[in-house]
Amino acid sequence: MRTCHGCSLCFLSSLCVVSVVVVFLLSGHFCELMRSSGSNSEFSVPMVELQTKFTRDDQDRPVLTGGFSTGFYVNQFGNRTIRKKTRLSREQKLEQGLARARSSIRRAASKLNLSATVRGDDFDPSRFVYRNPGAFYHRSYEEMERRFKVYVYSEGDPPITHDGPCKDIYTIEGRFIHELEHGAGMFRTRDPHRAHVYFLPFSVTWMVKYIYKPLSYDLTLLKQFVSDYVGVVSMKYPFWNRTCGADHFMLACHDWGPHVAKGNPFLYNTSIRVLCNANTSEGFNPQKDISLPEIHLYGGNVPSKLLTPPPVDAPRPYLAFFAGGVHGPIRPILLHHWKNRDNDLRVYEYLPKEIDYYSFMLQSKFCLCPSGHEVASPRIVEAIYAECVPVILSESYVLPFSDVLRWEAFSIQVDVSEIPRLKEVLSAVSEERYRRLKENLKVVRRHFVLNKPAQRFDVFHMILHSVWLRRINVNLE
């Protein structure tokens, strides 16, 4: 079993795919024929229908048994007299199973069962942190556990494929790859014909480390690697060409993940991209793409001070807290108005050596989470761990798992234009509302925890659930 530390310079073997790039570019397989010479980020595949709502057709489709569809056809006299049996293909069986799941979730969503609990878990859906607890707990998540299968392509070698960082700001990238490939989960299948989705197991962070030329800002080699990898799997297997990548997904936490995905226009525009840099102004499409929480784990573990936050009634003497470098468009505004300006709203560029960062979070009611160079911030998850209400200061950012979670139930979103009034805005939050926000943080915390091994409803499973939601809403027929 590979460990998270498999970072040898054997990345050269990963580049075996590069040697065949010319062959694949000239092979003329289906998706390449569909791509025009001037293809750009606006490309779409008409054969793939995104179902943004659960349709009546899903509810009315017959429930199939035994792998056969039985029905009637009308003869020339208009009589429904002849029964015909048609054996379903493997693909049709998968799609019919997903149709049944859609119908089941749709029915559960209409009931809006707020009082139920789940298998003895200590969740209380009545806290309204979920958009629809009944649909999430009692149908969608359980349907995922019952049906969902992921195939991981075996092509490539570590460290650039089948490996990733596990102890830094991009921790989520490596931990997801390793859990999916080596964990004891029920979702991975070794038979690609049984899969609902196909995972491209390359690490953008390790591409940057091993392929990128420092300070060049030239991403050509990274895009070429992605292009070559897709070329290899599309020639070796039928699955990419069958859907032009609509049932494939990649995962990247590095800021350059969206840019590297442009190595293949179908990967960028058609596939599911799981990205920390979930910026709608830069092409992130929440209809098909997934916002990935950025989790910074020094040494690979949650800081000990954040494992057990203080009791609910413990005093938090500071109104709000932030400490961080000046980069990106928002932080300079925050620091200009509040750096060293107020004893209640403590804003630092760099913390004094005698002050502990996490201790300050645990003593603050609100934790300010401004975007940096890119929209995501690890402070959001740190604030959730500390039960310090996150204050989101960002633009064009799609928050993680927002198709399931109501972020307004456990965080505050403040427009950048309101930063000069930040203390006034936060002081106006009533004690009752603050208490509810803080209690709801306890509910959502486990959705953002990286467990080893993974546990139900943790961040690994929430990522898979987000992929599952997008897959069941794509009609590949």
Query: How far is it, in rounded angstroms, from Cα 139 to Cα 271?
Result: 25
Q: At residue 158, does pLDDT exceed 80?
A: yes
**Higher confidence at residue 206 or residue 2?**
206
Displacement of CA 32 from its chain's centroid (Å): 27
Residue 85 pLDDT level (bands cut at 50, 70, 90): low
- Cα 286 to Cα 158, 292, 373: the distances in Å are 30, 11, 20
Q: How far apart are the first and last CA of the chain?
A: 38
222 phi, psi to nearest 5 deg: -70, -45
SS percent in the chain: helix, strand, coil, step 5:
40, 15, 45
Query: How far is it, in rounded angstroms, from Cα 51 to Cα 477?
Result: 12
Q: At residue 265, does pLDDT exceed 60?
A: yes
Task: Count the neighbouring beta carbons within 10 Å of the beta carbon of residue 141.
Answer: 21
- Label residue 432 exposed, middle or buried (CB < 10 Å: 0-12, 13-18, 19+): exposed
Tokens coding 40: 């750009």
Model's pTM, two decimal places?
A: 0.84
Asked if 41 and 464 touch (Cβ cutoff 8 Å), the reply is no
| pLDDT in the model for residue 111 | 72
Q: What is the mean pLDDT of the chain?
A: 83
Parallel/antiparallel/unpaired status of strands 68-73 and 82-87: antiparallel
Query: How far is it, in rounded angstroms, from Cα 30 to Cα 20?
Result: 18
Query: How far is it, in rounded angstroms, from Cα 299 to Cα 209?
Result: 19
Residue ranges and CATH numbers for the domains of the chain are 145-298+455-473 (no CATH), 304-446 (3.40.50)
Query: Collapsing DSSP states into helix, strand and coil, what is residue 170?
Result: coil
Tokens coding 345: 């709203």
Query: How far is it, in rounded angstroms, from Cα 160 to Cα 7?
Result: 8
Query: Collapsing DSSP states into helix, strand and coil, what is residue 364?
Result: strand
Of 109-113, 222-226, 310-314, 404-408, which gets the smallest average pLDDT? 109-113
pLDDT tens per residue, range 176-200: 999 999 998 799 999 999 999 999 9
Query: How far is it, in rounded angstroms, from Cα 110 to Cα 126?
Result: 16
What would the mean pLDDT of 134-156 be, rounded to a whole number?
A: 93
Residue 411 pLDDT level (bands cut at 50, 70, 90): very high
Asked if 222 and 209 touch (Cβ cutoff 8 Å), the reply is no
Question: 425: Cβ–Cβ under 8 A, 6 or more apart, which residues?
Answer: 412, 414, 418
Query: How far is it, in rounded angstroms, from Cα 73 to Cα 296?
Result: 60
Tokens coding 256: 């350059």
- Cα 56 to Cα 53, 60, 70, 100, 270: the distances in Å are 9, 6, 20, 12, 25
Q: At residue 115, does pLDDT exceed 60?
A: no
pLDDT tens per residue, range 461-474: 999 999 999 999 88
Residue 91 pLDDT level (bands cut at 50, 70, 90): confident
Which residues are bridge partners to 339 per DSSP? 347
Q: At residue 318, does pLDDT exceed 80?
A: yes
Q: In what order do the strands lie in the sheet with 364-370?
A: 345-348, 318-323, 364-370, 389-393, 412-413
Residue 67 pLDDT level (bands cut at 50, 70, 90): very low
Residue 475 pLDDT level (bands cut at 50, 70, 90): confident
Query: Collapsing DSSP states into helix, strand and coil, what is residue 424?
Result: helix
Amino acid at 343: N
Tokens coding 241: 């060409």
Which residues are bridge partners to 322 per DSSP? 347
Query: How far is it, in rounded angstroms, from Cα 343 to Cα 458?
Result: 36
Query: How far is it, in rounded angstroms, from Cα 83 to Cα 71?
Result: 6
What would the mean pLDDT of 226-238 be, rounded to a whole number?
A: 98
- Label residue 43 exposed, middle or buried (CB < 10 Å: 0-12, 13-18, 19+): middle
Displacement of CA 77 from its chain's centroid (Å): 55
pLDDT tens per residue, range 365-381: 999 999 999 999 999 99
Question: What are the helix (H) ranges across 148-203?
Answer: 171-182
| pLDDT in the model for residue 156 | 96
| pLDDT in the model for residue 65 | 26
**Quick one: what percent of the chain has pLDDT higher than 70?**
79
| pLDDT in the model for residue 134 | 82
Query: How far is it, in rounded angstroms, from Cα 469 to Cα 471?
Result: 6
